[in-house]
Amino acid sequence: MGSRSRDLPAVGSSAKLALLELGSPFSSTGRTLVRLRKAEQYGLCLSLGLLEEQNMKYITNIQEEATE
């Protein structure tokens, strides 16, 4: 009996190779996906930073009102 991977049709092998290429940071598609992930993370960090800044302003305003 052959192994399951040898019994797969060529299309399955192509799909496997495509998936491997997608996950590889060395392929152009893989590099694009890595860049997109980094951009999303950077955007999220910026958003969180802005939220943090707004929260700090809000807290400062509350503290100022409490001391008046």
**CA–CA dist 66, 56 (Å, integer):** 15
> How many independent structural domains does the chain possess?
1
Look up the domain containing 20 and give its range: 4-67
Q: Is 8 left (phi over 0), alpha (psi -120 to 50) or beta?
A: beta
Q: Amino acid letter at 39?
A: A
pLDDT in tens, the chain (68 residues): 444 444 544 445 565 655 555 556 566 766 777 777 777 777 777 777 777 777 778 778 887 888 77
Cβ(34)–Cβ(25) below 8 Å = yes
